[in-house]
Amino acid sequence: MTTEKFSGLIENYYSKTVSPALPYDAEVENFDSIEELKAANEFPKDSEIVNFVNAKRKAAARNKAMQAAVDAAGIKKPTLENDPQLRLKTVYKSLVAGGLSDAEARTVASTATGVEWAE
Protein backbone atom coordinates (compact mmCIF):
# COMPACT_ATOMS: atom_id res chain seq x y z
CA MET A 1 0.00 0.00 0.00
CA THR A 2 1.04 3.55 -0.66
CA THR A 3 0.14 6.58 1.41
CA GLU A 4 -1.12 9.50 -0.64
CA LYS A 5 -1.31 12.93 0.96
CA PHE A 6 -3.52 15.58 -0.57
CA SER A 7 -5.00 18.95 0.24
CA GLY A 8 -7.53 21.36 -1.10
CA LEU A 9 -9.71 24.37 -0.44
CA ILE A 10 -13.39 24.41 0.46
CA GLU A 11 -14.75 27.37 -1.50
CA ASN A 12 -18.42 26.33 -1.58
CA TYR A 13 -20.45 24.35 0.93
CA TYR A 14 -24.13 23.55 0.43
CA SER A 15 -24.27 26.07 -2.42
CA LYS A 16 -22.92 28.82 -0.15
CA THR A 17 -19.62 30.58 -0.75
CA VAL A 18 -17.08 30.03 2.01
CA SER A 19 -14.96 33.13 2.45
CA PRO A 20 -12.17 32.90 3.14
CA ALA A 21 -11.83 29.43 1.65
CA LEU A 22 -11.10 26.72 4.21
CA PRO A 23 -7.97 24.64 3.63
CA TYR A 24 -7.88 20.92 4.44
CA ASP A 25 -5.22 18.21 4.45
CA ALA A 26 -5.88 14.48 4.28
CA GLU A 27 -4.23 11.20 3.51
CA VAL A 28 -5.39 7.86 2.21
CA GLU A 29 -3.84 4.43 1.97
CA ASN A 30 -4.07 3.33 -1.68
CA PHE A 31 -3.86 -0.26 -2.83
CA ASP A 32 -1.03 -0.97 -5.24
CA SER A 33 -2.30 -4.23 -6.74
CA ILE A 34 -5.31 -6.47 -7.21
CA GLU A 35 -3.70 -8.93 -4.81
CA GLU A 36 -3.72 -6.31 -2.02
CA LEU A 37 -7.39 -5.59 -2.73
CA LYS A 38 -8.28 -9.26 -2.52
CA ALA A 39 -6.20 -9.85 0.63
CA ALA A 40 -7.99 -6.96 2.35
CA ASN A 41 -11.41 -8.27 1.23
CA GLU A 42 -11.94 -5.00 -0.67
CA PHE A 43 -12.19 -6.49 -4.14
CA PRO A 44 -15.66 -5.91 -5.60
CA LYS A 45 -18.01 -8.80 -6.26
CA ASP A 46 -18.69 -9.70 -9.87
CA SER A 47 -22.17 -8.18 -9.57
CA GLU A 48 -20.66 -4.88 -8.34
CA ILE A 49 -18.30 -4.78 -11.30
CA VAL A 50 -21.18 -5.47 -13.70
CA ASN A 51 -23.27 -2.72 -12.04
CA PHE A 52 -20.35 -0.27 -12.26
CA VAL A 53 -19.74 -0.93 -15.96
CA ASN A 54 -23.47 -0.79 -16.75
CA ALA A 55 -23.85 2.51 -14.88
CA LYS A 56 -20.89 3.96 -16.78
CA ARG A 57 -22.37 2.82 -20.11
CA LYS A 58 -25.82 4.17 -19.20
CA ALA A 59 -24.34 7.56 -18.26
CA ALA A 60 -22.49 7.71 -21.58
CA ALA A 61 -25.67 6.80 -23.50
CA ARG A 62 -27.68 9.39 -21.55
CA ASN A 63 -25.11 12.11 -22.26
CA LYS A 64 -25.05 11.21 -25.96
CA ALA A 65 -28.87 11.24 -26.20
CA MET A 66 -29.14 14.53 -24.30
CA GLN A 67 -26.53 16.15 -26.54
CA ALA A 68 -28.37 14.91 -29.64
CA ALA A 69 -31.65 16.33 -28.28
CA VAL A 70 -30.23 19.79 -27.58
CA ASP A 71 -28.38 19.79 -30.93
CA ALA A 72 -31.63 18.89 -32.74
CA ALA A 73 -33.43 21.69 -30.89
CA GLY A 74 -30.73 24.15 -31.99
CA ILE A 75 -29.70 24.91 -28.41
CA LYS A 76 -26.10 26.05 -28.13
CA LYS A 77 -23.92 26.26 -25.06
CA PRO A 78 -23.93 29.86 -23.84
CA THR A 79 -20.55 31.56 -24.26
CA LEU A 80 -19.34 35.11 -23.77
CA GLU A 81 -19.40 35.48 -27.55
CA ASN A 82 -22.99 34.31 -28.16
CA ASP A 83 -24.87 35.23 -24.95
CA PRO A 84 -25.15 38.93 -24.03
CA GLN A 85 -26.64 38.14 -20.59
CA LEU A 86 -23.74 35.83 -19.75
CA ARG A 87 -21.31 38.55 -20.83
CA LEU A 88 -23.19 41.08 -18.65
CA LYS A 89 -23.19 38.76 -15.61
CA THR A 90 -19.49 37.99 -16.04
CA VAL A 91 -18.56 41.67 -16.08
CA TYR A 92 -20.85 42.25 -13.09
CA LYS A 93 -19.18 39.47 -11.07
CA SER A 94 -15.74 40.91 -11.82
CA LEU A 95 -16.84 44.35 -10.68
CA VAL A 96 -18.34 43.02 -7.44
CA ALA A 97 -15.15 41.02 -6.82
CA GLY A 98 -13.26 44.26 -7.37
CA GLY A 99 -15.19 45.97 -4.58
CA LEU A 100 -18.12 47.73 -6.24
CA SER A 101 -21.52 47.54 -4.59
CA ASP A 102 -24.27 45.49 -6.22
CA ALA A 103 -26.04 48.54 -7.62
CA GLU A 104 -22.84 50.16 -8.90
CA ALA A 105 -21.66 46.94 -10.51
CA ARG A 106 -25.03 46.42 -12.25
CA THR A 107 -24.95 49.93 -13.69
CA VAL A 108 -21.31 49.83 -14.79
CA ALA A 109 -21.67 46.32 -16.29
CA SER A 110 -24.75 47.35 -18.25
CA THR A 111 -23.10 50.54 -19.52
CA ALA A 112 -19.84 48.76 -20.43
CA THR A 113 -21.51 45.94 -22.33
CA GLY A 114 -24.45 47.87 -23.75
CA VAL A 115 -26.75 45.11 -22.45
CA GLU A 116 -29.78 45.66 -20.22
CA TRP A 117 -30.57 43.24 -17.39
CA ALA A 118 -33.16 40.62 -18.38
CA GLU A 119 -34.37 39.94 -14.84
Query: Residue 15 — very low, low, confident or very high, per pLDDT cuts 50/70/90?
Result: confident
Q: Does residue 26 surpass a pLDDT of 90?
A: yes
- Could you report the per-residue pLDDT of 60-116, keeping only the tens digit for each? 999 999 999 999 999 989 999 999 999 999 999 999 999 999 999 999 999 999 999
Mean of pLDDT values over 21-50: 95
Q: Does residue 119 surpass a pLDDT of 80?
A: no
- Cβ neighbours around 109 below 10 Å, total: 22
Residue 23 has what DSSP assignment?
Answer: E
pTM of the model: 0.54
Helix (H, G, I), strand (E, B) or coil at 113: helix
Q: Where are the beta strands (DSSP E) in the chain?
A: 2-13, 16-30
d(CA 40, CA 29): 12
